[in-house]
A and B are shown apart, each in its own frame.
Chain A
Amino acid sequence: MSLWVDKHRPSSLNKLDYHKDQATLLKKLVNGGDFPHLLVYGPSGAGKKTRIMCLLRELYGSGVEKLRIEQHNFTTPSNKKIEISTISSNYHIEVNPSDVGIQDRVVIQELIKTVAQTNNLDSSQKDFKVVLLTEVDKLTKDAQHALRRTMEKYMSTCRLILCCVSTSKVIPAIRSRCLGIRVAAPSIDEITQILQTVCKKEGCPIPTELAKRVAEKSKRNLRRALLMAEACKVQQTPLKPDQEVSEPDWEVYLRETANMIIQQQSPRRLLEVRGRLYELLTHCIPADIIMKGLLQELINNCDGELKTEVVQSAAFFQHRLQLGQKAIYHLEAFVAKFMAIYKRFMEENIADLF
């Protein structure tokens, strides 16, 4: 455990820093010795996994922290070999079925069946295992449907904990089978406080102003906040209130792209923007994040009248983006649309001036 994020991660439900009510609820839930299937959802960096691990620890003791990575091989009905790695302890197994793309159904069926069908002989332990599925919102519909039957069938031997960012892509059938637990992002104040305690433990106290700035820049993402704070610490050891907080490259790049769009609206500029969009895509930044980031930056620079129209078109293209295959078309279409809207608006305004 080296990074602050990992080093200072709370390991039991008692030690959680925020959402303490929820923590007690979870504790009560587990104290009964059993719990229903869970669907944990919330934004990235809010502490979903942390809570899940705390829950498991509460349930099984410290044994769950002995983790190992295993490779599993499956053969699809079409005779294609797929490989997926899982993280497991003696009591649970974590898998991200969306790693294998459209073959996730096979993983769900096979893996969960094998896990669920083996009974625990040791009577001292709980008679069920936990299967932790991450990124459930990225599962294909097929896989989700495969899941719903499995959830009921193997109820006696296994519990599922599903983890996702948003439930909108989880089919209602699954949502209704699970107890939903929403882990909201921590507030700025909470993050500031956590940053201060962590820094104190690390022996380099952080000024409140800096902590607050880091918290704001992290967009209420605790993981990011901690990493940024640590990066600050690496840059300059006694932390100063006016210290520069470095942002991720891609965010800066995206902002510059948005500025380029605002500065000039022409086919040539569109071409340049396309190059930058390609650059972002090749750096593994998901297309919807790019769209969202662009929109946020563009909105900031727009006149109030335009905002609704821009947001509407962004939503339109975002939807198409989800349906389509080639992200670049949809991103560029959005940029072109924005350019057209913005240009029209500017020309009208100039005409009004004279």
Chain B
Amino acid sequence: MDDYDFDSQYADELDALQDFEPPNYSPCKPKRSLKFDSPNVKTAKDLNSSAIEPFDSPEKPSNGGRLSNGTHQRSEKRLRSEDEYANLSGSDQDEDFPTLKRQNKKARTEAFDIPPPPVNGIDKRITDIRRQYTHQNGERKATDLIDDYDLERPRVHKRIPSGDFMCTTNSDGEMFYIKLKDEIAMTKEFEDIGKRKKTSQLLSVSFETLREQAEKLRQEKLMAEAEMLTQEINRDLSERLSEDEDDEAEKAVNHEAEKLLWVEKFAPKTYTDLLSDESINRTLLHWLKLWDYVVFGKDVKLKKKEMSKKGKEKEQKKKKFLPEVIDELDKHNRPVQKIVLLNGPPGLGKTTLAHIIAKHCGYNVVEMNASDDRSADVFKTKLEAATQMKSVLESDPRPNCLVIDEIDGSPQAVINILLNFVKRSDEPGQKKKKKDEGILLRPIICICNDQYVPALRQLRMNALVINFPQTEPARLASRLSEVAKSQSLRTDLNTLLALCNKTENDIRSCINTLQFCFRQKKELTMRTVQTMNVGQKDSNKSLFSMWYEIFSLPRQKKNKFISLHDIQGQDWKKNDNLSLESRFKNVLHAAHCTGEYSKLIQGMFENYLECKFKDPKMEGLVLANDWLCFTDLLNSQISSTQNYSIMPYIPYITVTFHLLFATNQTQRIQYPHADQDAFLQRQKSGNLVTSLMSDMLPSVRMFVNETDVVMEILPPLLEIIQPNLRPVNTQLYSVKEKEDLAQLIRTMIAYNMTYNQEKTPEGQYTYVLDPNMEEVARFTGMKQHKQLTYAAKQLISREIGLERLRRNETPGLSSKETKKKLEKNSDVVPNHLQRLEAKPVMSREEAAERDFFGRIIKRKTPEAQRDDKQEKKKNVLNTDIWFHFTEGFSNAVRRNVRVQDFL
């Protein structure tokens, strides 16, 4: 052994040291290795006895002793692996181990073992082996270290050393000789160090080797376990099934499937495996085949299909729910319906169907689902990539078929992109303009749970919509039993049928439940299915179905799946859905599922009196109403204190109603509108009152509030404002009548009321109160109140307008003055109505203001302007005859007429 060798070994050792005791390690002090030994002297002494043993065969006895509690099988295996290991490291072991300093080294290696982790099985095995290895290595290296690397060895000699040397003199004049090394050997040494460093590792064994070993061990263990299991199962099965299954196959299956979900494992692989309805499969397949011409260039046998279509139509009359594939190709030889929309509840195998059929037809399936990014831009690039490109690198370049899963969750923008893409090039001109955008040449299958999502509305119109029906329970159950058999899960068909029933024929849920049970215990019984919470969907019931459930007695439901031992048990009552207990539970559960309690209760409230229940003493009614009040109190408590902990008490009202009012007769349930209507109406009335109040005179407003207005003031007031007015010109009124009219006008203004002209749907003009207090104060079906005539209302309306104008013009004008002016001012009624009134010729008495030079100052206030206009109008009206033509009035037509023509 020369220096080179030593150094290279030393490098290894350094690493090992680093591994074991990093903080103390310092590479420039190789002596440290000796120090390292010192703390372990005691243990070395303890281990003396074992150290005396010959070193040639250390492993077997020590390890055997340590693992003596392991099974025989295992130890065998271990031995085998150790043998292998020995082979692996054989090259190192070739060198003989010097035994001189073995005690020391042994002690040190033992120190590494101080914390032996209490591991079982594989881990333990691995650590054992590692320990073994380090032991050997460590010893060897330590030996090398001590033997070869003599730390006290002088590098500088006083005498002439053997071999090449160089002499040198120090400051004191002493001569020294330094041994020379071969240059080539030196470089090699350095290189070697580098290499060794690279391949060296922190562990004494390379990680790969370790992993290999672990993997091997694990596999062996699994194999052994599987073997044992199979034997056990076979023993069990042989009693019952008496069929011997191939051990090997079984083993393999178990081996692979340990991690795999059964849903994936037992997913159908070919078209014939599909569980979904045959007609659905065929429809989809048919549609996909229509693409053949565009995609593969094959001829689609259209004519033949049309022939058979007639026959098919007969079939389809039987099954009307089936969508019809239109067997036509458009000008690009694509099918007319370019998209299929598969629609159905979760777990029926829609995605599986799409994948299998696409594969079956020779497509490469590209799937996009909700987990992908669904922003519009990303979607567009993906869509184009999927439909217009194909994979080149793969050995089998197949055309793509795009499957867009869970499309009902995607935003409207994405669906619009899809639609545009599909519709593109339907117009011939478009294609030329946008050359970069190709047309859709690949089939697209969309999958959704709810086809009535608003975003999908457009898509539905353009796509072939295929509704997925429920899987047949019998088929599903038989498939489940196959699965169970292949997994040697003990069960029977009835149980599986019950499971199907429970999960509402959700394939995924069924299989998951099976796997779940398999993990827990190797058996699935009726009782497990019934008591299990797994597999039951948290379904969302519609309000209507809930109301029907409340108000109708449950039908006797024959439960086919009751087995004998269930009846013996206590749970058998659960199957009987007519018992009080189960009715209670069912209704309560349904109510929980429905959620919207307030709507639910309102619906019950508005429908329960329609039920034909027997309640001669009306005690049930009282009880039901009590419950209604109770829930109302709960609700108000919740909303005022935000104390939602009392919320769970609310749904119990459904049980009360069910038990009180459920009948066998089905009845029409009506959606509750009354409350909402009443609320809106109430709000409307409230707004009317508020608007009335808002513009009342402060002196009146001061003394009233809203309730007073509604209850005390309005009813008499409505009568007060409808006095008897003689249907003659106001000019002809007596002084008292004039006073009454003025009084009326003042009252109405004080209470902010007027008449407004409105056109009825029949085309007639009427005057209605504004704000229409009649709506608030009058009740339908009460005795009719006297109404003013149209003319009277018109008169009042006009007078109110005038009075208001006047008050605005001269605030603080006393009522007497206004009364004087009443007759003198012009009117503001729309001019086409003016023919109804005889126009008194009026002249403005208002003294015009004059400036210094006596010129008339024109006031430019809006009031004055309006007066001017009115004056003009008046002149026109007074001098001319107006013609009425369809809707308008004009005096532009002139002709001579005699007075007698008008009389």
Contact = CB atoms under 8 A, between A and B. Distances in A.
Given A44-B708, A317-B629, A336-B621, A279 B780 contact: yes
Contacts of A317: 629
A340 B618 contact: yes
Contact of A323 (B633, B703, B722): B633
B699 to A, nearest CB: 6
Given A227-B716, A249-B782, A2 B746 contact: yes
Nearest to B744: A2
A304 B572 CA distance: 55
Nearest to A342: B618
A286 interface: yes
A286 B712 CA distance: 13
B469 interface: no
Contacts of B711: 248, 250, 285, 289
A246 B743 CA distance: 21
Interface in B636-651: 636, 639
Identify which of A6, A230, A268, A281 gathers the most chain B CB atoms within 10 Å of its CB.
A6
A82 interface: no
Interface in A74-104: 85, 87, 94, 96
A234 B626 contact: no
B713 A227 contact: yes
Interface residues of B, number: 65
Interface of B: 605, 609-611, 613, 615, 617-619, 621-622, 624-626, 628-629, 632-633, 635-636, 639, 674-675, 678, 681-682, 685-686, 689, 694, 698-703, 705-708, 710-717, 719-720, 722-724, 743, 746-747, 749-751, 776-780, 782
Given A282-B682, A282-B685, A284-B689, A223 B713 contact: yes
A69 B621 contact: no
B682 A249 contact: no
A45 B703 contact: no
A5 B776 CA distance: 21
28 contacts: A1-B750, A3-B717, A3-B720, A6-B700, A6-B750, A49-B702, A67-B702, A69-B698, A96-B705, A221-B712, A224-B712, A234-B722, A234-B724, A246-B719, A249-B782, A250-B779, A252-B779, A253-B779, A267-B613, A270-B621, A283-B777, A284-B689, A285-B710, A320-B629, A324-B629, A325-B635, A333-B626, A337-B622
A1 B722 CA distance: 18
Contacts of A85: 694
Contacts of B615: 267
Contact of B609 (A221, A252, A268): A268
A291 B621 CA distance: 19
A4 to B, nearest CB: 9
A237 to B, nearest CB: 8
A94 to B, nearest CB: 7
Contacts of B625: 329, 332-333, 336-337
Contacts of B778: 249
A61 B497 CA distance: 93
Nearest to B775: A283
Nearest to A245: B716
Interface string A321-340: 00111101110110011011
Given A6-B703, A53-B702, A271-B610, A284 B686 contact: yes
A223 to B, nearest CB: 6
A134 interface: yes
B621 A339 contact: yes
A24 interface: no
A340 B621 contact: yes
B263 to A, nearest CB: 48
A73 B718 CA distance: 33
B629 A87 contact: no
A77 to B, nearest CB: 17
A248 B610 contact: no
B712 A320 contact: no
Interface in A112-168: 134-135
A265 B617 CA distance: 10
Contacts of A57: none
A247 B782 CA distance: 12
* Most B C-beta atoms less than 10 A away, residue of A53, A134, A325: A325
A343 interface: yes
Interface string A256-286: 0000000001011011001100110111111
Contact of A340 (B613, B617, B702, B751): B617
A213 interface: no
A314 interface: no
A336 to B, nearest CB: 5
A3 B714 CA distance: 12
Given A267-B609, A336-B618, A283 B710 contact: yes
A343 B618 contact: yes
B413 to A, nearest CB: 33
A306 interface: no
Most central of A69, A283, A289 by chain B CB within 10 Å: A283
A229 B441 CA distance: 88
A65 interface: yes
A62 interface: no
Contacts of B706: 284
Interface core residue of A228, A329, A333, A340 (most chain B CB under 10 Å): A329
Given A250-B711, A267-B609, A320-B632, 4 more contacts: A231-B716, A250-B779, A284-B707, A336-B618
Q: Which of B685, B699, B703 has the most CB of A within 10 A?
A: B703
A325 B705 contact: no
Nearest to A67: B698
Given A227-B712, A325-B639, A265 B702 contact: no
B715 A249 contact: yes
A271 B674 CA distance: 12
A22 interface: no
A248 B678 contact: no
Contacts of B703: 5-6, 9, 49-50, 53
A251 B58 CA distance: 112
A268 B713 CA distance: 35
Contacts of B780: 279
Nearest to A6: B700
Contacts of A9: 703
A134 B624 CA distance: 39
A235 interface: yes
Given A6-B699, A44-B712, A248 B720 contact: no
A329 B777 contact: no
B609 A271 contact: yes
B777 A249 contact: yes
Contacts of A337: 622, 625
A134 B681 CA distance: 27
A225 B712 CA distance: 9
The 6 closest A-B pairs by CB, nearest first: A248-B715, A67-B698, A333-B625, A227-B716, A2-B747, A2-B746
Interface string A292-336: 000000000000000000000000010010011110111011001
Contact of A324 (B636, B678, B707): B636
Contacts of B698: 67-69, 87
Contacts of B611: 267
Contact of B629 (A268, A279, A329, A340): A329
A344 interface: yes
A137 B747 CA distance: 30
Nearest to A254: B779
Given A45-B712, A227-B716, A339 B618 contact: yes
Contacts of B724: 234
A161 to B, nearest CB: 13
A70 B531 CA distance: 69
- Which of A2, A65, A336, A340 has the most chain B CB atoms inside 10 A of its CB? A2
A172 B851 CA distance: 69
B429 to A, nearest CB: 55
Contacts of A134: 705
Nearest to A278: B678
Nearest to A344: B617
Contact of A329 (B632, B700, B782): B632
